[in-house]
Amino acid sequence: MTIVQADKAGKAYKDRHVLQQVSLAVEPGECLGIIGPNGSGKSTLLKLLSGIEAPTSGSVLLEGRSAHAYPRKRLAQWAAVLQQDALPPLGFTVREVIGMGRYPFQNWLGTDSADAERLVDRIIERLQLVKLQHRQVDGLSGGERQRVALGKVMAQQPRLLLLDEPTTFLDIGYQIQMMDWIRSWQKESGLTVIAVLHDLNLAAQYCGRLLILQEGRVVAAGTPEEVIAPGLLERVYGTQPIVMRHPVSGVPQILLQPDGGQE
């Protein structure tokens, strides 16, 4: 069954149309990247796909049911969202924050049917947080905090993970580390991933399919080879990139040139 489906979905705030006629389908185990210029509606689309907001036109379905109609706790048992700055100052330790990912599975007594502590132990070890687990999140670096945020959504054991520019504030080492962990998790568990990404090269490296938005509309969708194309990128981003294949992975990557390459 298709896990996420949008059919001519639109979103308007008063008289301002942010998204119009967006259609897409995401299959289980797939990684879809959503790209586009700032203000193109990427984060708004993610809110519709996650059920946080309802479309003002068209429909968004999660496993055949209206995304916005799911009870919040039930939806959180199989879908998780990881945002840019996912952890505001909390005053909790790393271990406590990761354990919060089990909240949707607790009964009214606050107990979890699964072995939550053992799961948290595995996540902490996998994300190399053992030495940090008893430190407060507030005092961590940006890269460390984002690892904790990833651990929290891993503790939810979702079938669908939605990423809202999770690497934006990270240096390149943490960016690759974050995306490698997510891809490894996806391959092991069959996780479905929908990622809003600002970096086109990261999107092409880690996503099997890309969807590009411009002014709230889908202008292209397909494989990285189909979407990361000079003419399309010039039309959408207003710049003339050089597109070449990565020497190791073979996926298209872009090089930027100032003033269209003119001296």
pLDDT in tens, 33-65: 999 999 999 999 999 999 989 999 999 999 999
Are 167 and 71 in a shared domain? yes
Q: Please give the pLDDT value at position 186.
A: 95
For residue 11, which amino acid is it? K
In this structure, the strands spanning 160-164 and 79-82 are parallel
The whole-number pLDDT of residue 250 equals 94
Using N-to-C axis directions, what is the helix angle for 172-189 and 142-155, rounded to 10°? 10
Residue 222 inside a domain? The answer is yes
- The answer on 136 and 171 residing in a single domain is no
Q: Could you tell me the CATH number of the domain that includes residue 26?
A: 3.40.50.300
145 and 184 inside one domain: no
Do residues 99 and 120 make contact, with C-beta atoms less than 8 angstroms apart? Answer: yes
Count of domains for the chain: 2
Q: 59 and 9 in one domain? A: yes
Q: Is the pLDDT of residue 108 over 60?
A: no
Token pair, residue 219, equals: 């202008």
Give the integer Cα–Cα distance in Å for 107 and 127: 28
Enclosing domain of residue 98: 92-153
Residue 109: pLDDT band (50, 70, 90) is very low
